[in-house]
A and B are shown apart, each in its own frame.
Chain A
Amino acid sequence: AQTVTQSQPEMSVQEAETVTLSCTYDTSESDYYLFWYKQPPSRQMILVIRQEAYKQQNATENRFSVNFQKAAKSFSLKISDSQLGDAAMYFCAYTTYNQGGKLIFGQGTELSVKP
């Protein structure tokens, strides 16, 4: 079965500090794409960062970066210089080349940011 596991239901970080959210996935496919989405209380899912499995270099978007370990099937998200606006639910997801874009999501990690 294709699954995504986020082992941290809740995380907390102090403003301006760094936090890492964990994600592992399970697929037998070799060509797939990984995503981190953010969902604030407004419910709007927003793409934070994406990674193509064939790329060895870890993706980076401003304060957000990933640690992609393909052999371990691990895809963690690092948020640097955390801001109050980063508080949200974060979902890890993936899709494979032949799934038409269908996303498989983890259960989510709720991140709180303390001032």
Chain B
Amino acid sequence: GAGVSQSPSNKVTEKGKDVELRCDPISGHTALYWYRQSLGQGLEFLIYFQGNSAPDKSGLPSDRFSAERTGGSVSTLTIQRTQQEDSAVYLCASSLLMWGRETQYFGPGTRLLVL
């Protein structure tokens, strides 16, 4: 079946604008994860969903970041009033269940550049 898909692949925006990043997980996967990959911080966890609920939002760097998941499928990560330090690759992953033993399958990421 299809893997995890993310859109857009690349996004260039101006400082202060809002952006929405989309993730389509593998069909049937109940757990969905967002990570951020940047030069200075490496790969860092942002948030995960089990179904439509987000038990752990501890990685969201500020209140400008929010995420939602609808229908237990598609997820959107929204960054409001973007800053230059938000420039990074945003990776989405999904797994069948939310347990640690489950393998996470990653999408190709969205590269965000804030000018």
Contact = CB atoms under 8 A, between A and B. Distances in A.
Interface of A: 31-33, 35, 37, 42-47, 50, 52, 91, 93, 95-108
Given A32-B100, A43-B89, A96-B100, A101 B95 contact: yes
Given A44-B108, A96-B100, A102-B56, 13 more contacts: A31-B100, A33-B101, A43-B89, A43-B91, A43-B108, A43-B109, A44-B106, A44-B107, A46-B106, A97-B99, A97-B101, A102-B59, A103-B104
A8 to B, nearest CB: 14
A35 to B, nearest CB: 8
Contacts of B73: none
B55 interface: yes
B33 A101 contact: yes
Interface of B is mostly: strand
Given A45-B93, A52-B101, A95-B100, A104 B45 contact: yes
Contact of B56 (A43, A50, A100): A100
Contacts of B43: 91, 93, 103, 105, 108
A52 B99 CA distance: 12
Contacts, number: 71
B22 to A, nearest CB: 16
Counting chain B CB atoms within 10 Å of each CB, which of A31, A32, A33, A93 scores highest? A33
A69 to B, nearest CB: 20
Interface residues of B, number: 29
A1 B45 CA distance: 14
A101 B99 contact: yes
A103 B47 CA distance: 11
Counting chain B CB atoms within 10 Å of each CB, which of A32, A93, A101 scores highest? A101
B1 interface: no
A13 B104 CA distance: 28
B102 to A, nearest CB: 6
B113 interface: no
